[in-house]
Amino acid sequence: MINYDVIVVGAGHAGCEAALASARMGMKTAIFTLNL
């Protein structure tokens, strides 16, 4: 099983910014969306 520090649901503008910010802080980040 893979463990993540942050899981972002939704890859809209805010979701992408949140995922990028957490990844830049060194957190293991996953992002999920219905479609891109």
pLDDT at 26: 98
Predicted pLDDT of residue 14: 96
Residue 35: what pLDDT? 74
DSSP result, 1-36: ----SEEEE--SHHHHHHHHHHHHTT--EEEE-S--
Q: Is the pTM of this model over 0.75?
A: yes
Domain of residue 19: give its range.
1-36
Q: What is the pLDDT of residues 1-36, one digit of tens each?
A: 999 999 999 999 999 999 999 999 999 999 999 875
Task: Count how many domains the chain has.
Answer: 1
What's the pLDDT score for residue 36? 59
In sequence order, what are the residues at sequence separation of 6 or more whose Cβ sits closer than 8 angstroms to the Cβ of residue 36? 11
